[in-house]
Chain A
Amino acid sequence: MSGLVDLLLAPFAYSFMVRGLLAVIMVGIVCAVIGTYVVLRGMAFLGDALAHAILPGIAVGYLLGNGSQGALFWWGLLAAILTALGIGAVSKRARIKEDTAIGILFAGMFALGIALISTTRSYAVDLAHFLFGDVLGVSPADLLLTALFGGAILLVVALLYKEFLVLSFDPILAATLRLPASMLHYLLLLLIAVAIVVSLQTVGVALMVAMLVTPAATAYLLARRLLPMMLLAAAIGALSGVIGLYVSYYAGVASGAAIVLVCTALFLLALLFAPRQGMAWTWLRRLAQIIAR
């Protein structure tokens, strides 16, 4: 028994592991809560695109800020906000479909980011860091920014709970109730953008969409109302982060990848064994029928 406790506590003899633990819990919760709307509104591609499109912002912050984390954060945030507004504007006005607009902006911004980073000498290492994150490199200042902005996101989601619900479920009702639909849509994009930027250090650009979508999708399979879905998604997100951190520590796997793999495993479990709708039950029922015959 004490062996297990030692095994669980051992990683946290290092202060960077404690900071990592706090970071994955906060990021897991914030991404999963805002990710609930990403899943319900079918914005997964947009979330992925937003995550990739902040790369040039990070690159500029990196080149100008001499490696300071704060500069990365603010430039990343600026790029995310500009992209969120850009996608909204292009898909609204131009005569192209939204996913095409997203594809164009996302690839263009991502390429710009890679081009900028490729001008540095330590190109490959830097790029890998931004793409896949490094939860063990989280600084106390990063933690503070994550807590502040993550808290702000949760507050806005709580305050506008019923408005976002109506907007997602029935846009025509939102219009007849005179909700400012496009303002709320942009606000949601902005919240997603901020969530991405605060999670950057933990999971990186390339795997970000998993933090937004996978815990929320798992909760979607298990919950029947929005609030339970959100709370469950938050719990799954945080739990995945913690388990992923242990896997990373003991198996020597990259932390971002380990967290996302845990998220995916939990999703597959829910897909198979969700009460009533789990695929395993359908198969069992079919098998029972065959045997009965």
Chain B
Amino acid sequence: MTSKRKRYSRSAKSARHEADAPILDVAGLGVEYDGQIALDHVSFRLVRGEQIAVVGPNGAGKSTLFKAIAGVLQPTRGRIQVAGHQPGRHICIAYVPQHSRTDQTFPVNVADVVMMGRIGKLGWLRHPRSRDWEYVDHCIETVGLTDLVRRQIGELSGGQQQRMFIARALAQEAELMLMDEPLTGLDVTAQEKVIEVLEALRPHGVTVLVATHDLNLAARQFDRVMLLNKEMIGFGKPDEALTTERLRLAYGEHLQLIHIDERTIVVSDTCCEGGVK
């Protein structure tokens, strides 16, 4: 039974992990669209289980970076390795989309969407069985959506949808989770719920990359912060990465820094709050 399962499973074909390799190793990454540089000279390494915030102005290349890591987009230059292998063969990467990008009227409920994460493990010609649905229920419980399992997705709030997609990433047994502005357009309570779920992921050892506009949140909540504007301007502990100089370099005139006594108050990129682009 197990051997048969393995034969049909897509995961059996996907790359094996090298235990001592960093979960994500990006070196000299550059991406161009139609000759326009979207991203260049990006190099960094992530330790397993880290939670990283990726900040930068609109068009800084945050989505491009995530899509390149997910293997959806072919880099022009450089190298990306996930646990020691090319991203193209990994199904352990989960890309959590912005909730505004999903079709709200699609006839699926929460359990259906989370089950989609399992199909890489299921493999071809197999339909989910009761133990797959149990796994899905467990993932939904982790993000606190058990009461809403049978809801059609259009009936969920933005924050609930974000948590649903996190549950889907868990169902995928993803080791690297890429979240593209999961908090944009959410109210404060919904944001806090999503952050609670991110905290709950820590014991699972999932490495999380979150693109966000919220510099305060980035500084407060994440292990390390990456400051991006086409090139990598800073990467490190929040106080190292988000210096006045670097913030000015990244945001230019879109950022106001207010100095009061010894403290710096950051007023960021307000034009982009609320998901308006």
CB-contacts of B109-142 with A (<8 A): 109, 112-113, 115-117, 119-120, 122, 124-125, 127-128
Q: B136 CB to closest chain A CB, in angstroms?
A: 13
Does A161 reach chain B (CB closer than 8 Å)? yes
Say yes or no: A226-B71 contact (C-beta < 8 A), given A176-B91, A176-B95: no
Say yes or no: A165-B71 contact (C-beta < 8 A), given A176-B91, A178-B14, A229-B107: no
Minimal Cβ-Cβ distance residue in B for A223 = B107
How far, in whole Å, are A254 and B270 apart by their CA atoms in the complex? 62
Q: How many residues of A contact B (CB 8 A)?
A: 23
Say yes or no: A177-B120 contact (C-beta < 8 A), given A170-B97, A172-B72: yes
Task: Collect the chain A residues with CB atoms within 8 Å of residue B102's CB.
Answer: 169-170
How far, in whole Å, are A161 and B119 apart by their CA atoms in the complex? 11
Say yes or no: A224-B152 contact (C-beta < 8 A), given A163-B119, A175-B72, A178-B91: yes
Indicate the size class of the contact surface on chain B. Answer: 20 to 34
Does B108 reach chain A (CB closer than 8 Å)? yes
Task: Collect the chain B residues with CB atoms within 8 Å of residue A228's CB.
Answer: 107
Does B106 reach chain A (CB closer than 8 Å)? yes
Minimal Cβ-Cβ distance residue in B for A219 = B107
Q: A111 CB to closest chain B CB, in angstroms?
A: 35
CB-contacts of A149-191 with B (<8 A): 159, 161-163, 165-166, 168-170, 172-173, 175-178
How far, in whole Å, are A77 and B209 apart by their CA atoms in the complex? 48
Does B94 reach chain A (CB closer than 8 Å)? yes
Q: A124 CB to closest chain B CB, in angstroms?
A: 43
Assess the B95–A162 pair: CB atoms within 8 A.
no
Task: Collect the chain A residues with CB atoms within 8 Å of residue B120's CB.
Answer: 177-178
Does B79 reach chain A (CB closer than 8 Å)? no
Q: A165 CB to closest chain B CB, in angstroms?
A: 7
Does B246 reach chain A (CB closer than 8 Å)? no
Assess the B93–A176 pair: CB atoms within 8 A.
yes
Task: Collect the chain A residues with CB atoms within 8 Å of residue B127's CB.
Answer: 161-162
Minimal Cβ-Cβ distance residue in A for B70 = A176
Most chain B CB inside 10 Å of its own CB: which residue of A172, A176, A220, A224: A176
